[in-house]
Amino acid sequence: MRVLMIAPPGAGKGTQGARIAAHFGVPHLATGDLLRRHVALGTSLGRAVQEHLDRGDLVPDGVMQDLVRRSLADATADGGGYVLDGYPRTPAQAWAAYRIAASLDATAHVALHLRTDDDEVVRRLLARSAIEHRTDDTEPVIRRRLALYHRVTEPILQWYRYRGILLSVDGMPEPDRVTSTVVSALRYRRPCPDPVPVPLAA
């Protein structure tokens, strides 16, 4: 199973992505986690991206492409699947995700979208900030990440809908219900060969 996860901050991408990946026995590749690991380890990539993360801005495309290409190449080396969580987030990234996956003969079967309510995700993220202390979980930065999601990420859903691989699920019920809805929808979905898409304007 090869899944791209597209959802706003606070929608439960991390939780659901890990559960779906475990269910199908594939790696969960979460771009935010990969980036935060680099920051925590103080690598040169981590130092280069830290400010972007702290401000809630997108990390530059070139950096993301290298990171995603390496992760997907490792994940698919033995013919395996993946749950790629947090990429793509822009039209240019959607096209890059397709090109990278196509070069590995591992294009996505499904683009999974979790639908949410803005006020609820702000509430969730503020509650999480008391526990996890992520530098980008302050209210102004949360609002900025949400605005960015609506402006540049949401429009790419249409591209996946048009290609017939979009699965859009209500992300508002409690986590176990969301997981079982997604798992049953994915289990009964016949993996279809991904049609060569019309290029997406960046």
Asked if 52 is part of the footprint of ligand ADP (rule: CB under 6 A), the reply reads: yes
Binding-site member from 18, 39, 48, 58 for ligand ADP (CB under 6 A): 58
Asked if 194 is part of the footprint of ligand ADP (rule: CB under 6 A), the reply reads: no
Catalogue the long-range contacts made by 97-103 (C-beta closer than 8 Å, 24 or more residues apart).
Answer: 97/4, 97/68, 98/194, 98/197, 98/200, 100/65, 100/68, 100/69, 100/72, 101/2, 101/72
Asked if 171 is part of the footprint of ligand ADP (rule: CB under 6 A), the reply reads: no
Asked if 106 is part of the footprint of ligand ADP (rule: CB under 6 A), the reply reads: no
Residue 190 CB, nearest approach to ligand ADP (Å): 28
Asked if 98 is part of the footprint of ligand ADP (rule: CB under 6 A), the reply reads: no
CA distances from 195 to 25, 187, 192 (A): 25, 20, 9
Place of tokens 């996890």: 132
List interacting residues with ligand ADP (CB under 6 A).
Answer: 9, 13, 31-32, 35, 52-53, 56-59, 64, 86-87, 89, 93, 136, 145
